[in-house]
Structure 1
Amino acid sequence: MQKFFHTQSSLAVICLPLLIIGCASEPVSVAKPEPEQIISGETMLRESQGIASLGERWKSGKQLVERGNTMVNEGEAKIEEGNRLISEGNKIIRESEEHYKNIKK
């Protein structure tokens, strides 16, 4: 039993100074979130004008793409028509050459 009291008193002697030191030290500060900065009207105006400019630039790019696609489609249609004309012309040339050969015989 005497051992128990000796151990208990030793623990008390060790824990008491630790408790006093812990209570006396500076409290741990919790990081406070920075308050949001208030945006000025001039800043909002400047940023909104920049965004509007980006929107206009995007719109211009979209129009160019649409015009380009239209031109490509028209070009493909012209190429198909050109190929059809070439085929028809070659057919007429062959038929004419065959008729000519038949006439010469």
Structure 2
Amino acid sequence: MQKSFPFQPRMALICVPLFIIGCASEPVPTPKPEPIISGETMLRESQGIASLGDRWKSGKQLVDRGTAMVSEGQAKINEGNRMIEEGNKIIRESEDNYKNIKK
């Protein structure tokens, strides 16, 4: 019996402050239940989401059309630059041939 006696006061010294701290702390709040959504609310929200989807689709179409136009425009710019280079080459050759004839 004497062996267990020193153990009890130590346990009391440890448990009593823990018990007091536990009682003094604020209780854990219980989560509030989700409010019930009415059918009208669900319908209104789904229509809003559908509207966002339609708006996204129209934006995507604009991006696709714009990208195609930029690609076509770049192809025309490249073709125009090629034509300018070829035209300048023909002009230089013609001028060189004219100079050769005049000599």
TM-score, normalization: structure 2? 0.71
Match of 1:71 in 2: 69
Aligned pairs, number: 79
Query: SS where residue 34 of structure 1 aligns?
Result: coil
Match of 1:11 in 2: none
Runs of 4+ in 1 over 6 A off after TM superposition: none
Match of 2:81 in 1: 83
Match of 2:56 in 1: 58
The unaligned stretches of length 5 or more in structure 1 are: 1-27
* Structure 1 residue 32, shift from structure 2 partner: 2.9
Match of 1:95 in 2: 93
Identity of aligned residues (%): 78
The unaligned stretches of length 5 or more in structure 2 are: 1-25
The residue type paired with residue 85 of structure 1 is M
How many angstroms apart in 2 are the aligned matches of 1:97 and 1:54?
63
Match of 1:41 in 2: 39
Q: What RMSD in Å do the two structures reach over aligned CA positions?
A: 1.7
Match of 1:4 in 2: none
* Structure 1 residue 37, shift from structure 2 partner: 1.1
* Structure 1 residue 31, shift from structure 2 partner: 3.0
Q: For residues 11-26 of structure 1, what are the structure 2 equivalents within 5 Å?
A: none
